[in-house]
């Protein structure tokens, strides 16, 4: 694997200042459920098929959060962009057995694949120039969804959460902590689900993320569309999903933007160790995980890197 490191100056060269974008709400089907999505187009788009980026977000998120932020950035740079709510989240239909708010990696991978197939049929989309952009948890989902998929030309990952067994143990309290959460998951599944709040203030009890910040701040991610729910059934599938070990599956050109100050940078290094292709890597200093979601300066730098990467591969 050969890595191309980018400087901030080089990334700023791609900035395009368009005032607005056009959007169109659409629906598509996967495994018996209807999913809701949004197509983003550059302002004044004349209907010509465009290179297109499918954008997916962090765990528990809905499309109006960081996916929309990056979709707008892509449209401002001349791409079409597509976001959607996964099954069980936001405006989309349920998972099997009417399950909602379950962070299910395999289901989300399936939904991304369905979204790719759907987007390729849209008249505004150049089906020969489709790329995937995965943010945080969905970075791993995106890698697995595009691997071997002839409809996708390239992939980009922003602030990717790429875990393996070693990282899971380090984050979730060792084998005892992990096994305890898996027991919680199995108990919840036997009861048909247990729903708790996804986000809460720092130190709160009984919530998934008792840390305040992005998901808890109404000026940031705590928007009206956000479900703010977590199904305890999620734990087993999440903890046993190890995308940091999946680099050998990826057969697409890759770009990553991350920071030592963001979540599990060691997962990026593990992934790149196993990636056989050439990767464009932009490693920013002092950027937190949540800053990648909505801080204008950091979003712009990440979006510039991704736009340059997708153009190079088109």
The label of the residue with tokens 């395999």 reads 106
Pick from 11-20, 110-119, 131-140, 202-211: least confident: 11-20
110: left (phi over 0), alpha (psi -120 to 50) or beta: alpha
Convert the pLDDT of each residue in 14-68 to its tens digit: 333 335 899 999 999 999 999 999 999 999 999 999 999 999 999 999 999 999 9
Question: H helices of the chain, where?
Answer: 8-12, 66-76, 105-119, 138-146, 165-171, 174-190, 234-239, 265-274, 289-294, 296-313
Asked if residue 142 lies in contact with residue 132, where contact means CB atoms within 8 angstroms, the answer is yes
CA 92 to chain centre: 17
What per-residue confidence (pLDDT) applies to 278? 87
Q: Nearest Cα to 255, choosing from 146, 182, 167, 108?
A: 146
Residues ≥6 apart with Cβ < 8 Å to 196: 206, 207, 208, 229, 230, 232
Instruction: Give the chain's mean pLDDT.
Output: 94
Q: What is the CATH number of domain 2-164+242-313?
A: 3.40.50.1820
% of residues, the chain, pLDDT over 70: 94
Convert the pLDDT of each residue in 80-120 to its tens digit: 999 999 999 999 999 999 999 999 999 999 999 999 999 99
pTM: 0.94
């Amino acid at each position: 694997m050969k890595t191309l490191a980018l400087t901030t100056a080089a990334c700023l060269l791609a900035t395009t200042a368009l005032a607005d974008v056009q959007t169109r709400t659409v629906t598509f089907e996967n495994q018996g459920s209807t999913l809701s999505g949004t197509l983003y187009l550059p302002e004044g788009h004349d209907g010509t098929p465009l290179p297109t980026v499918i954008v997916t977000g962090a765990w528990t998120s809905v499309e109006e959060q960081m996916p929309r932020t990056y979709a707008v950035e892509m449209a401002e740079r001349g791409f079409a962009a597509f976001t959607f709510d996964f099954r069980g989240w936001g405006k989309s239909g349920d998972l099997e057995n009417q399950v909602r708010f379950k962070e299910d990696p395999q289901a989300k991978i399936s939904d991304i694949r369905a979204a790719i197939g759907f987007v390729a049929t849209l008249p505004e989309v150049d089906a020969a120039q489709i790329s995937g952009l995965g943010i945080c948890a969905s970075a791993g989902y995106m890698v697995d969804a595009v691997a071997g998929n002839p409809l996708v030309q390239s992939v980009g990952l922003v602030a990717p959460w790429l875990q393996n067994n070693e990282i899971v143990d380090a984050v979730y309290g060792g084998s005892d902590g992990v096994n305890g959460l898996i027991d919680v998951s199995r108990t919840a599944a036997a009861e048909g689900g247990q729903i708790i709040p996804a986000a809460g203030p720092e130190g709160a009890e009984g919530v998934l993320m008792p840390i305040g910040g992005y998901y808890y701040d109404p000026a940031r991610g705590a928007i009206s569309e956000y479900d703010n729910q977590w199904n305890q059934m999620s734990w087993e599938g999440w903890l046993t999903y190890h995308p940091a070990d999946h680099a050998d599956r990826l057969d697409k050109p890759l770009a990553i933007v991350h920071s030592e100050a963001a979540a599990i940078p060691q997962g990026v290094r593990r992934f790149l160790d196993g990636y056989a292709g050439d990767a464009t890597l932009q490693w920013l200093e002092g950027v937190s995980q949540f800053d990648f979601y909505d801080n204008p300066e950091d979003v712009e730098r990440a979006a510039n890197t991704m736009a340059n990467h997708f153009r190079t591969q088109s």
